[in-house]
A and B are shown apart, each in its own frame.
Chain A
Amino acid sequence: MVQLTRRKFLVASGCVAGGLTVLYTLGIRAAASAPTIIFPDERSGAAWIQIRPSGACHMYFPRQDMGQNANTGLAQIVAEELNILVADIHGEHPTTSDVPPLAVTAASMSLTAFSRPVALAAATLRESLRARAAAMLGEPLANILDDLGGFRTANGRKVGYCELVSGTGVVIEFDDNKSPLPLYTFDPNRQKKQIGHSVRPLDIQALVTGAPVYAADVQVEGVLYGRVVQPPVRNAHIRSLDTQGVMQTPGLVKLVHEGDFVGVVCKTPSAVDAAMAQINVTWNLEQPISQLAIDSLIDVDAEMMDGDLEHVLQDEAHRDTVDWDIDLRFEVQVQTHAQQEARAAIARFNGSTAAHELEIWTGTQDPWAIKRAAAVDAGLSQDDVVVYPQRLGGGFGGREYYEVERDAVRLARAVKRPVKVQWTRQDEFTASRCRPASTHRLRIAVDDEGNLSDWWYGYVSGHVALARERMAGWLLPIMRLGTDMGVVKGAIAPYAAPHQRVECTDVDLPIDLGVWRSLNGAPAVFAIESAMDELAIQRGEDSLQYRLAQMKGAHPRLQACFERVSKMSTKSPLPEGHNYGRGFAGGIFDGRCHVAISADVHIDVETQTIRVLHMCCAQDVGLAVNPGQLRAQIESNLVWSIGMALLERFEVADNAIQSSNFNDYEIPRMKDMPSLDIEIIDQPAIPPAGAGEVALIAGPPAIANAIRNACDFRAVKLPIAFDDITANLRA
Chain B
Amino acid sequence: MKLNVNGVERQVATEWRDENLLTVLREQLGLTGSRFSCGIGECGACLVHVDGVPTNSCLMPVAAVADKAVLTIEGLVARDGTLHPLQQVWIDESVPQCGYCQSGQIMRALALLKENKEPTDDDINRAMSGVLCRCGTYDRIRKSIKRVALLMSREI
Give the B-binding residues of A (Cβ under 8 A): 66-69, 198, 200-201, 204-214, 216-217, 219, 225, 251, 267-270, 337-342, 391-396, 422, 424-425, 628-629, 632, 635-640, 661-663, 667-671, 673, 675-676
Contact = CB atoms under 8 A, between A and B. Distances in A.
Given A204-B91, A216-B32, A269-B23, A394 B136 contact: no
A340 B134 contact: yes
A713 to B, nearest CB: 26
Interface residues of B, number: 60
Contact of A636 (B19, B45, B130, B135): B135
A251 B15 contact: yes
B2 interface: no
Nearest to A69: B97
Given A663-B42, A673-B142, A394 B36 contact: no
Nearest to A250: B18
A75 to B, nearest CB: 15
B139 A635 contact: yes
Instruction: Kindly list the 3 A-B residue pairs having the minimum CB-CB distance in the complex, ordered from nearest.
Output: A210-B33, A639-B136, A393-B100
Contacts of A396: 134
A209 to B, nearest CB: 6
Given A209-B77, A210-B33, A340-B132, A424 B39 contact: yes
A394 B73 contact: no
A670 to B, nearest CB: 4
A392 to B, nearest CB: 6
B66 interface: no
B139 A270 contact: no
Determine chain A's interface SS by DSSP, over half rule. Answer: loop
B37 A341 contact: yes
A340 B136 contact: no
Interface in B27-63: 27, 30-40, 42-43, 45
B98 interface: yes
Contact of A342 (B30, B37, B72): B37
A200 B106 CA distance: 18
A668 B136 contact: yes
7 contacts: A212-B33, A341-B100, A342-B37, A342-B38, A393-B98, A635-B137, A669-B129
A395 B98 CA distance: 9
A268 B15 contact: yes
B36 A422 contact: yes
Contact of A68 (B90, B97, B124, B131): B97
B97 A200 contact: no
A214 B94 contact: no
Nearest to B99: A207
Contact of B138 (A217, A422, A668): A668
Contact of A667 (B36, B39, B134): B134
A269 B20 CA distance: 9
A343 to B, nearest CB: 11
B83 interface: yes
Nearest to B125: A671
B110 interface: no
Determine chain B's interface SS by DSSP, over half rule. Answer: loop
A670 B128 contact: yes
Nearest to A660: B40
B26 A270 contact: no
Contacts of B125: 670-671, 673
Given A393-B98, A632-B94, A268 B19 contact: yes
Contacts of B130: 669
Interface in B89-134: 90-91, 94-103, 106, 124-126, 128-134
B101 A670 contact: no
A201 B93 CA distance: 11
A240 B134 CA distance: 37
A633 to B, nearest CB: 8
Contacts of A663: 40, 42
Q: Looking at A205, A206, A391, A669, which has the most chain B CB atoms within 10 Å of its CB?
A: A669
Contact of B136 (A68, A212, A422, A640): A640
Contacts of A639: 135-136, 138
Q: Looking at B18, B34, B72, which has the most chain A CB atoms within 10 Å of its CB?
A: B18
B15 A207 contact: no
B141 interface: yes
A394 B134 contact: yes
B140 A340 contact: no
Contacts of B100: 214, 339-341, 393-394
A676 B129 contact: no
A201 B129 contact: no
Contact of A393 (B87, B99, B131): B99
Contact of B98 (A200, A339, A425): A339
Contacts of B32: 210, 212, 214, 216-217, 219
Nearest to A65: B98
B135 A268 contact: no
A338 B45 CA distance: 13
A200 B99 CA distance: 13
B27 to A, nearest CB: 7
Given A210-B32, A210-B103, A628-B94, 12 more contacts: A207-B99, A209-B74, A210-B73, A212-B32, A213-B99, A214-B35, A216-B32, A268-B15, A340-B133, A393-B99, A640-B136, A670-B125
B134 A339 contact: yes
B37 A673 contact: no
Given A209-B83, A219-B30, A340-B133, A676 B139 contact: yes
B19 A270 contact: yes
A425 B91 contact: no
Given A208-B102, A339-B98, A662 B19 contact: no
B136 A636 contact: yes
Given A268-B19, A424-B39, A425-B39, A210 B74 contact: yes
Nearest to A218: B32
Q: Looking at A198, A214, A340, A661, which has the most chain B CB atoms within 10 Å of its CB?
A: A340
A395 B45 CA distance: 17
B42 A338 contact: no
B20 A662 contact: no
B138 A425 contact: no
Contacts of B26: 216-217
A712 to B, nearest CB: 29
B73 A340 contact: no
A395 B134 CA distance: 10
Contacts of A668: 136, 138
Contacts of A206: 99
A270 B77 CA distance: 30
B139 A207 contact: no
Q: Looking at A207, A425, A669, which has the most chain B CB atoms within 10 Å of its CB?
A: A207
A208 B15 contact: no
A12 B22 CA distance: 39
B76 interface: yes
Q: Looking at B73, B128, B131, B136, which has the most chain A CB atoms within 10 Å of its CB?
A: B136
B45 to A, nearest CB: 6
Q: Looking at B19, B43, B77, which has the most chain A CB atoms within 10 Å of its CB?
A: B43
